[in-house]
Amino acid sequence: MNEKKIILGIETSCDETAVSIIEEDKKGKIKILSNVVSSQINIHKEFGGVVPELAARSHVEKIDLIAKKAIDESGLDLSDVSAIASTYGPGLVVCLTVGLNFGKALSASLNIPFIGVNHLEGHALSPKLSTNLDFPYLLLLISGGHTQYLSVNGLGKYKRLGTTIDDALGEAFDKIAKLLGIEFPGGPKLESFAKNGDANKFKLPKPIINKGGCNLSFAGLKTAILRISSTVKSNQEKYDLAASFQKTIEEILEIKTQIAFDEFKKISKMKSKTFVIAGGVAANKGIRKKLIKICKKNDFRPIFPEPKLCGDNAAMIALVGLEKYKIKKFDNLDLPASPRLPLDERAKFLKGAGVRF
C-alpha cells in the first residue's frame, strides 16, 4: 500500500460529470491533484431544466474521457490509486447509477477498495480540502436540491436542526430566474441581474419566519413573485423584482441563522463556534456577506469552501472517500444507488402540504 493515500472520486448525481484525484501525505496534508468537471448546461438549456434521461446519457458518453483527463492531470497512474469513491446518493437515480457502476468497475479491475459517498456529506466536509476544520461545527447546506442546518459531529454523525419544508434555496433561485426570463441555469446569474435593481421596490413575504425554529419555506415567496411577475412589463421592473428577492432571501437567512446559532450552542458540548456554509448557493456573494455579518455579531467563525468547490465536484467526494478509507469503512460492489439518501437518518420528514410544527 502506498505511503501516500490517493483517492479517485467520481460524481454524477445530477448534471455534472466529475472525476477528481486527491492525495494525503504522511503529515496529513491534503492536495487536489486534479478536479475535472464537465457541465451539461448546453444540453439542458433549451428545456429550461435538467432532463434526467439526457443527463444520464451524457454521463455515459463522457465518464471515461473525464476520468482519463483527471488521471492525466494528476500526473499519476491508475496503479497509484488507493481506493475509488463514488457518489451513491442522493440525486437522480439514472445519473447516480452511471458513476456508481463506473467506480465499481474500476475498483474491481484494480482490486482496490470501493467506497460509496453521500453527496451531501461531500458538501459538508468540502472546506477541509483547503481549511483546517475540527468537529463539531454548525453547517448550512444550501444547494439546488437541499437546504438544511445541521450539527456536524464527525464523519457520518449529523443532527439536523432545520430544513426547508418545500423548495430548496437553489431550486427557488432557479425558478425565480426562469420567471424573470434569465437563461438557464438562471439561479447563479440572478444575483448579478439583481444588481441593476432597487431591492426595496417590492415587499415580499418571508414564510414561517416567526415559527418553525430554523426550518425554512420558500414556496410562498415563489408564488408571490409569480403573481407580481405577471404584471411586470419593463426590464427595470424585472431587475427590481430580482433585487427584492435577493434581499428577502438574505433577510430570511439572517433570521433563521440566528435561531440555528442559538440551538447549536445548546447542544455543542465543546462550545464550538464554527459555521460552515456549503453547497452551490454558498457562492452567492450577497448571502456570504450577510452571513459573515451575523457571524461577527455572534462571535462565530464563518467558513466557506473555495468558489470552485461550492458546486458539484468530485474532489469533495474523494475527500469523504479518504476519510472513510482511513478507518477502513469500505462498501461492497452491490451497493445500490439511493436517490433520497439523507444525512441525518433519524430526522423527521418535513415536506409537503399540511406540515405542522
> What pLDDT shows up at residue 42?
83
Nearest to 83 by CA among 58, 63, 64, 107: 107
pLDDT in tens, 189-211: 899 999 999 999 999 999 999 99
Q: Is the dihedral of CA 223, 202, 47, 338 positive or negative?
A: negative
Burial class (CB in 10 A: 0-12, 13-18, 19+), 153: middle
> What pLDDT shows up at residue 356?
62
CA 120, 173, 189, 52: dihedral to nearest 10 degrees? 60
pLDDT in tens, 89-111: 999 999 999 999 999 999 999 99
Measured between alpha carbons, how far is residue 44 from residues 41, 51, 54, 176 in Å? 5, 7, 8, 18
> What pLDDT shows up at residue 82?
98
Domains of the chain: 5-128+309-326 (3.30.420.40), 134-304 (3.30.420.40)
Cell representation of residue 284: 452567492
DSSP state for residue 39 in the 8-state scheme: E
> What pLDDT shows up at residue 352?
61
Q: Determine if the pTM surpasses 0.85.
A: yes
> What pLDDT shows up at residue 353?
52
Location of C-alpha cell 474521457:
65
Enumerate residue ranges in the chain where pLDDT < 50. Answer: 1
Cell representation of residue 243: 433585487
What is the distance between the terminal CA atoms of the chain, rounded to a whole angstrom? 52
168 touches 275 (CB < 8 A): no
